Chains A and B, each alone.
Chain A
Amino acid sequence: MAFQILLNFFIAFIWMFLSTNFASSNFVVGFILGMIMIYIMRNFFTSRLYISRFWAVIKLVVLFMKELILANFQVFMVIIKPKLDMNPAFFAMQTELEQDWEITLLSSLITLTPGTIVVHLSDDSKTLYIHAIDIDDVDSAVDSIKNSFEKAILEVSRS
């Protein structure tokens, strides 16, 4: 992954030196040419193409924006209801994520979408304890988090 990005930069620099034009636009041209070359040679690399990982990051950002707007709207509906009939709850969620940055990212995404807050992390970093403002069915909430955020993060970190 890091090696591929470095290789792409290297190809772009070689392109700049070959064409003896050191403008930034020419660097971008060399970078795009390097991307095409790396895509053609994709079977020689042992890890995934960094372009697909980058695409997964963009998809994660778009998903987060969508969830943020939807969850804000839900919390707004809870607030303006005349009757107070919400069901706050704590629930535990098992996570499959391994690395520290993945767990941090998942916790931040859960906390930033309104209505749910990560309050505690178990000592083996396998269980997240989440507080929700209005919840009817715990299993469906866990499933929705697992299917949206966790899947997108796994898509980014898959080697």
Chain B
Amino acid sequence: MKTNDVILKTTSHVVFFIIFLFSIHVFLAGHFAPGGGFVGGLLTSSAIVLLLLVYDLKTVQKLLPINYTIMTASGLVLALGTASIGMFLGKPFFKHYFDHFYLPLIGDTELHTAMLFDTGVYLVVVGVTLTIIQSIGGDD
């Protein structure tokens, strides 16, 4: 029983981009506003889960050829590496550094190493969520 899902497909094409943009916004807002790596990662995963609901596993794997295991591992390495910057400079573990930089187009920006740690968290959350969903959904 295959029904005609033109409406679902077309709507999901539009909504996917909106969710993805919102996830990036929430991820970047984590320092001064509610948000951060965990919520951003879950939102990105939910955007990809929407694609999984509309298409099947193989199509999405073709669209986004990402090995989610490697993604999780690289996220962990990034988080640990950021945490151990301070150790090499004679400061305690998890010491963070920040400074103001003048970036073109954006202007005065505060760059913080906590952002890198957050990126690690983000990658781990996306990787773990999609690994779970793919391994549950993929037993043919």
Contacts and interface: CB of A to CB of B under 8 A. Distances in A.
Interface stretch (B4-12, B35-43, B119-127): B4-12
Interface string A91-119: 00000000011011001100000000010
B1 to A, nearest CB: 11
A100 B4 contact: no
24 contacts: A100-B6, A100-B9, A100-B10, A101-B10, A103-B6, A103-B7, A103-B10, A104-B6, A104-B7, A104-B10, A104-B11, A107-B7, A108-B7, A108-B11, A118-B7, A120-B3, A121-B3, A121-B4, A121-B6, A121-B7, A122-B4, A123-B4, A125-B4, A125-B6
Nearest to A122: B4
Q: Enumerate the 9 nearest inter-chain pairs by beta-carbon distance, A residue then B residue, closest first.
A: A104-B10, A121-B4, A100-B10, A104-B7, A123-B4, A100-B6, A107-B7, A101-B10, A125-B6
Chain A contact patch, size range = 10 to 19
Interface of B: 3-4, 6-7, 9-11
A149 B4 CA distance: 22
B13 to A, nearest CB: 9
Contacts of A101: 10
Contacts of A121: 3-4, 6-7
A125 B5 CA distance: 9
A103 B10 CA distance: 9
A89 B90 CA distance: 78
Contacts of B9: 100
Contacts of A104: 6-7, 10-11
Nearest to A124: B4
A45 B4 CA distance: 37
A134 B80 CA distance: 64
B65 to A, nearest CB: 25
A125 B6 CA distance: 8
A97 B3 CA distance: 19
A121 B6 CA distance: 8
Contacts of A122: 4
A104 B12 CA distance: 11
Interface in A107-154: 107-108, 118, 120-123, 125
A145 B55 CA distance: 31
A118 B4 CA distance: 13
A157 to B, nearest CB: 14
Contacts of A107: 7
